[in-house]
Structure 1
Amino acid sequence: MRIAILGATSQIAKDLIKCFLEKNDHDLTLFARRPDAVEHWLSSVDHSNRPVISNFDHFSTEKTFDAIINFVGAGNPATALAMGRKIFETTRQFDQIALDYLASHTDCRYIFLSSGATYGSSFLVPPNMHTHATVEINQPQPADWYGISKLCTELNHRSLDHLGIVDVRIFSYFSRSQDLGAQFFISEILRAIHNRSTLEVSSDHIVRDYLHPVDFHQLIEKVLASPFENRVLDCYSRAPVSKKALLQFMSENFGLVYKEAKKNGLPKINTKVNYYPTGKQASSIGYAPLYSSLEGIEIEARAILDSLPKQHFLE
Structure 2
Amino acid sequence: MRIALLGATGYIGRSLLYEAQSRVFTVVPYTRDKKKAEDVFKKYSIHLNSTLHTYNDLSTEKYDVIINAAGIGSQSQLAKKTQDITFVTESLDSILLNYLETNPHTRVFTMSSGVVHSLEKQTANSDDEPLIKNTYALAKEASEARHRTYKEYAIIDLRIFTFFSRFVDVNDTFLLSQIVGSLENNDEFVTNPNDIVRDIITTEDLLDTILFLTNTAPANAAHDIVSKGTVTKFELLNYFKDKWNLSYTIAGDEQESPTGQKDSYYPSSNTLKEMGYNPKFTSLEGVHKEITERLRVA
The TM-score with structure 1 as length reference comes to 0.84
Checking the alignment, whether the CA contact within 8 Å between 2:58 and 2:99 is kept in structure 1 is: no
Aligned partner (choices 124, 134, 145) of residue 138 of structure 1: 124
Distance change (3 Å), C-alpha of 1:306 and 1:29: closer
Alpha-carbon distance in 2 for matches of 1:192, 1:68: 36
Alpha-carbon distance in 1 for matches of 2:140, 2:169: 23
Q: Secondary structure at the match of 2:105?
A: coil
Aligned partner (choices 170, 181, 184) of residue 194 of structure 1: 184
Q: Secondary structure at the match of 1:217?
A: helix
Checking the alignment, whether the CA contact within 8 Å between 2:113 and 2:161 is kept in structure 1 is: yes
- CA RMSD across the alignment: 2.2
The equivalent of 1:244 in structure 2 is: 234
Query: Post-superposition shift, 1:137?
Result: 6.1
The equivalent of 1:15 in structure 2 is: 15
Moved over 6 A (4+): none
Matches within 5 A, 1:274-313: 274-308=264-298
Query: Post-superposition shift, 1:175?
Result: 0.9
The equivalent of 1:53 in structure 2 is: 52
1:14-42 C-alpha deviation (Å, 9 max, x unpaired)? 222222222224x3332111224445628
Q: Secondary structure at the match of 2:52?
A: strand
1:75-110 C-alpha deviation (Å, 9 max, x unpaired)? 111111211122101110011100111123222211
What letter matches 2:17 in structure 1? I
Query: Post-superposition shift, 1:301?
Result: 1.8
Query: Post-superposition shift, 1:151?
Result: 0.7
The equivalent of 2:94 in structure 1 is: 96
The equivalent of 2:27 in structure 1 is: 28
Distance change (3 Å), C-alpha of 1:6 and 1:179: same
The equivalent of 2:61 in structure 1 is: 63
Checking the alignment, whether the CA contact within 8 Å between 2:111 and 2:159 is kept in structure 1 is: yes
What letter matches 1:15 in structure 2? S
Q: How many percent of aligned residue pairs carry the same amino acid?
A: 28
Q: Secondary structure at the match of 2:239?
A: helix
What letter matches 2:165 in structure 1? S
What letter matches 1:205 in structure 2? D
Distance change (3 Å), C-alpha of 1:248 and 1:66: same
Q: Secondary structure at the match of 1:298?
A: helix
Query: Post-superposition shift, 1:273?
Result: 1.3
More displaced, 135-144 or 168-177? Answer: 135-144
Q: Which runs of 5+ in 2 are unaligned?
A: none
Query: Post-superposition shift, 1:275?
Result: 0.7
Checking the alignment, whether the CA contact within 8 Å between 1:113 and 1:167 is kept in structure 2 is: yes
Q: Which runs of 5+ in 1 are unaligned?
A: 122-132, 309-315
What letter matches 1:228 in structure 2? P
Q: Secondary structure at the match of 1:69?
A: strand
Query: Post-superposition shift, 1:157?
Result: 0.9
Query: Post-superposition shift, 1:46?
Result: 6.1
Distance change (3 Å), C-alpha of 1:266 and 1:249: closer
Aligned partner (choices 165, 169, 175) of residue 175 of structure 1: 165
Query: Post-superposition shift, 1:197?
Result: 2.6
Query: Post-superposition shift, 1:240?
Result: 0.9
Query: Post-superposition shift, 1:266?
Result: 5.3
Checking the alignment, whether the CA contact within 8 Å between 1:174 and 1:211 is kept in structure 2 is: yes
Aligned partner (choices 81, 84, 88) of residue 83 of structure 1: 81
More displaced, 37-46 or 108-117? Answer: 37-46
The equivalent of 1:151 in structure 2 is: 141
Alpha-carbon distance in 2 for matches of 1:176, 1:268: 23
Alpha-carbon distance in 1 for matches of 2:245, 2:75: 27
Checking the alignment, whether the CA contact within 8 Å between 2:158 and 2:222 is kept in structure 1 is: yes
The equivalent of 2:103 in structure 1 is: 105
Distance change (3 Å), C-alpha of 1:230 and 1:205: same
Distance change (3 Å), C-alpha of 1:179 and 1:225: same
What letter matches 1:171 in structure 2? F
What letter matches 2:140 in structure 1? K
